[in-house]
Amino acid sequence: MPETRTQDRAADQPLSVAGWATHVPGLTAADLPGSPVEPACGPDDAKDVLGRKGLLGKEPSTRLALCATHRALGLPPGKLTEPLPYAPGTAVVVASNLGNVETVSTVLDDMRSRGGNVVSPLDAPNASSNVIASSIAIRYGFTGPNLAVCSGATAGLDAVRLARVLLLAGRAERAVVVGVEPADPVARALAALRPGDPGELIAGAGCVLLGRPGAWPTDTGITVGPVTRHTSDPGPADGQPAVGELYGAAGVVHLAAAAARLAGGADDDAAGLTVRCGDADDAWLTVDVTRAGARREAGAAA
């Protein structure tokens, strides 16, 4: 049966990628483009990136997402000392299928066995499915729409697609798109139930800053086009980093890595790379990331 493809209903206009970061604990820029020079810290050491204040009670996935966002924004280590001038009208879209599942499981178990009074006030907010996106918005003062995407293996690029819709419809000036997954025992057990052999879930996060040209104070020359949905497997992405199973975070992590590769000149002859995520159950999504002023090579992938 011939493959069918559907495009975003949003216009084909490319969006600028103003910043990016990948944050997979233990990996460096040599392992995964967009990572720090030194090994990325785990959630327990997020204070090294974010400062000590404001992390009490934050889940591991929220801490990793905040680290990726902080680094994508190009901020120095530590808590913000003054409001970000571009925070008003900035949307936050987070892709995570299992981000707070351990807390939800623990809260439910406690309530069933001992009643609602035993639930910690620090744990209760983390039971919200939108806790990661709201934590990012509150910490950095972003006042635009705030969305969480939990759509399976396509979640990362689904989040990019939703950010495009918000931006091109005028609902937001800029968008912070984050993909993150934890690797706690509950999350790993649930991820292992997926059909086929998805591999063992690892913890990690990625962040990309999207907007119309000029919306952010930086111009990297990197753009991202509309997201394409494929109803059959579009084939392997040969150049995509093999860092482990990131599930819903994969699309954003690979997009951030592709932007870093192009900006760093790792692919001098290529004007762009194709990012892919998905599986046989959830379908596949692809998106093209391009660099201004260079020739695109067919088949390049990130």
Predicted local confidence at residue 296, as pLDDT: 38
pLDDT exceeds 80 at position 302? no
Residue 260, both tokens: 């870093």
- Residue 70 falls inside a structural domain: yes
Residue-wise pLDDT tens digits, 166-213: 999 999 999 999 999 999 999 999 999 998 888 899 999 999 999 999
Is there a domain that residue 262 lies in?
A: yes
Tell me, yes or no, whether 302 lies in a domain: no
Beta bridge partners of 15: 224
Encode pLDDT of 212-233 as tens digits: 999 999 999 999 999 999 988 8
Confidence check: pLDDT of 243 > 50: yes
Token output for 191: 């991820």
What number of residues does the chain have? 302
End-to-end CA distance of the chain: 27
Complete DSSP assignment for the chain? ----EEE-SS-S--EEEEEEEEE-TT--TTTSTTS-SSPPP-GGGTHHHH-STT-TT--HHHHHHHHHHHHHTTPPSSS-SS--TT-TTEEEEEE-SSTTHHHHHHHHHHHHHH-GGGS-TTTGGGGSTTHHHHHHHHHHT--S-EEEE--GGGHHHHHHHHHHHHHHTTS-SEEEEEEEE---HHHHHHHTTSSS----B--EEEEEEEESTTSSS---SEEE---EEESS-----TTS----B-GGGHHHHHHHHHHHHHHTTTTTT-SEEEEEEEETTTEEEEEEEEETTSPPPTT-B-
pLDDT of residue 89 exceeding 90, the answer is yes
Q: Grade residue 127 by pLDDT with cuts at 50, 70 and 90.
A: confident
Range in 21-35, 65-79, 114-128, 211-225 the model is least confident about: 114-128
Q: Indicate the pairing of strand 174-181 with strand 90-95.
A: parallel
Whether pLDDT at 259 is above 50: yes
pLDDT score for 128: 83
- Supply 34's token pair: 């967009």
Number of domains in the chain: 1
List of residues 6+ apart from 266 with CB closer than 8 A: 33
> Does 296 map to a domain?
no
Tokens 């990661």 belong to residue:
132
Residue 30 is assigned to a structural domain of this protein: yes
Q: Who has greater pLDDT, 171 or 123?
A: 171
pLDDT band with cut points at 50, 70 and 90 for residue 117: low
Cα 128 from Cα 134, distance rounded (Å): 10
Instruction: Tell the residue number behind the tokens 């990726």, with chain if given.
Output: 68
**List of residues 6+ apart from 140 with CB closer than 8 A:** 69, 73, 80, 84, 87, 176
Tell me the two tokens of residue 142: 């972003």
Non-local (6+) Cβ contacts of 77 within 8 A are: 48, 49, 50, 51
pLDDT of residue 250: 96
The answer to whether position 206 is within a domain reads yes
In a domain, 297, yes or no: no
Cα separation, 102 vs 47, in Å, equals 22
pLDDT classification of 266: cutoffs 50, 70, 90: low
For residue 235, what are its two tokens?
A: 């084939």
- Residue 294: pLDDT above 50? no
CATH of the domain at 123: 3.40.47.10
Q: Which domain holds residue 95?
A: 5-291
| pLDDT band, very low/low/confident/very high, at 299 (cuts 50, 70, 90) | very low
Residue 298 counted as domain residue: no
Residue 14 has pLDDT above 50, yes or no: yes
**Mean pLDDT confidence for 133-149:** 97
pLDDT digits (tens, 9 = 90+) for 45-88: 999 999 988 888 899 999 999 999 999 999 999 999 899 999 99
